[in-house]
Amino acid sequence: MDYLQIKKASPLHGEIKISGAKNASLPLIAMAILAQNSVEIKNLPNVADIKTLLKLLSNLGAKCSSTWAENNNVTTIDTSSLTQTKATYDIVRTMRASILVLGPILARFGHCEVSLPGGCAIGQRPVDLHLKALEQMGAVINIEAGYIHALAPNGLKGCDIIFDKITVTGTANIVMAAALADGITTITNAAREPEVVQLCEILNASGVQIDGIATAVLKIHGTNGRLLHIEPFSIIPDRIEAGTYLCAAAITRSELTLTDVNAGHLGAVISKLQEMGSKFTITDNTITIHPSEVIKPVKIVTQEYPAFPTDMQAQFLALATQADGTSIIEERLFENRFMHVSELQRMGANISLNGHVATINGGTKLSGTDVMATDLRASSALVLAALVADGITDVHRIYHLDRGYDSLEQKLQNVGADIKRLKE
């Protein structure tokens, strides 16, 4: 098993190219199930979650081929040969986003079996909202022996769906199901994340009229079973990866430039970094962060987009350990997403937890030690802390990190970090 060994960094300097967004890529890979043609996707990140979902599609009978090359990642997915409609436990258990195949398979074939999903241990993320919406569209759904059995022999029907709470994967799943449905489906309280927006934009360009893109109310005009012709497209930049490297610059008090990035997707993150003292120079596709010697404390509440993202909570918590004062971070989306706190405390961080609120007393000196990653974003928080900790930090269980960060150690090495991947 691999681990990362990190020594305290001198100020970082240079440029980091941002990869394609993992969270945009996953629904867009699943979307290929709706296509009549071979779909070409550019700028997929070279991370474990992407390869897991491509393997799942291959097991269903699709033909997937990928070229992983610097600045030129291209994947082609041909689902014309897709015959299997059962997504088995051995793959789905490793990644919750596998549930994204449920909507498109059911819409295309009228039946499917999908294992109940697994994934990160950051809290309960039930799929009941997905299933309730599909039942409203006419599907008959039963759960037996850990599998979702869905049947819609007469196809899915457009209807009005109101999500009780905002769900990103739920919105994506139902948008894809509605794309081939008979009639108009209206989703109220839809997620507005850039990753959902890109899915809607590509479906809209492929013959599925979608009104209200980037709003909380989506109206999808189904094709009544007609498969789509999807032109080649490129994945949007990963806003969470970008935010992580901005925090790396802030915590090490370094000036860094991010390239191939969309600052418009990072409004809440940039705003909080500005509150903490950083300044920015922004162009159409670059962000340069000019950090402050004094990191100011901050108050953060995680909420759905466009508010502060839960996927940046751990990184800002690490940054807050070096702030001049007390920071408060409230986690409103997941009940078990402070598991990195105990590992940061092992490094010397002064953090107290009260339910879903963390209080971070900043200005503490961190010391390198052995720490263990517990989920994807917790992994990056430990890396950030290690960059300013005295001595050597070994970050274990980085398979979590590999699920969502493309070439993290190489990118940090390129800007001067002392970080290397070793075998246990």
C-alpha distances (whole Å) from 341 to each of 5, 7, 337, 365, 374 are 20, 20, 9, 15, 10
Query: Is residue 120 annotated as part of the catalytic site, yes or no?
Result: yes
> What is the 3-state secondary structure of 317-330?
HHHHCCCCCEEEEE
CA gap 376, 400 in Å, rounded:
5
Token output for 215: 């709003």
Angle at CA of residue 237, ends 231 and 241, nearest 5°: 145
DSSP H or E stretch at residue 171: helix 168-179
**Which of 120, 159, 200, 247 is flagged as catalytic?**
120
The neighbour count for residue 154, using CB atoms within 10 Å, is 9
User: What does DSSP say about strands 140-144 and 147-151: parallel, antiparallel, or unpaired?
Assistant: antiparallel
Structure letter (DSSP) for residue 181: S
Strand 370-372 and strand 392-396: the pairing is parallel
Q: What share of the chain is helix, strand, coil (3-state, %, to 5)?
A: 35, 25, 40
Known catalytic residues are 120
